[in-house]
Amino acid sequence: MLSLQEMSDRLEIHDLIARYAHAIDDQDWDALDRVFTPDAVIDYSELGGAKGNRAETKAYLAQAMPNFSAFQHLSATTRLDIDGDRAKARTILFNPMVMPHDGKQQVFFIGLWYCDELARTPEGWRITHRREQKCWSFNAPEGMLP
């Protein structure tokens, strides 16, 4: 049986993962300050994106995301391993995106995992390291993904 602390930790981490998805979909880059530690490493490179700390990632997203006319981030089935004030999580992401391509709007889909390392901070749980691990893509414009 889970203790109250374990239940609280799990709920807080699930909420953190949801807050990330909403921050990206709302293009609210400052909301990422409540998701990642200042020195977090965020690695989107496996899908052709940037790798950097929180500030660098916010700048990258502010430049990259307006290239898409629509997108959603659906996070699901998070596996959590909590060890005191540290945790590891692996979360499925289903990500439909729309972008202009060859003069028309093209919808494509990406399936990936977020591989996260987290820490309990005075402000609550925060992600200290996030790596996107590609699983599959469908209908992505040529040259869009490695």
In terms of DSSP H, where are the helices of 26-144?
54-64
Span 89-112, pLDDT tens digits:
999 999 999 998 888 999 999 999
Span 27-37, pLDDT tens digits:
999 999 999 99
Among residues 13, 17, 16, the alpha carbon closest in space to that of 92 is found at: 17
pLDDT for 140 equals 80
Exposure of 123 by Cβ count < 10 A (0-12 exposed, 13-18 middle, 19+ buried)? Answer: exposed
- Model-level pTM? 0.94
Q: Provide the token pair at 118.
A: 């987290």
Rounded CA gap, 108 and 22, in Å?
A: 20
82 in Cβ contact with 7 (< 8 Å):
no
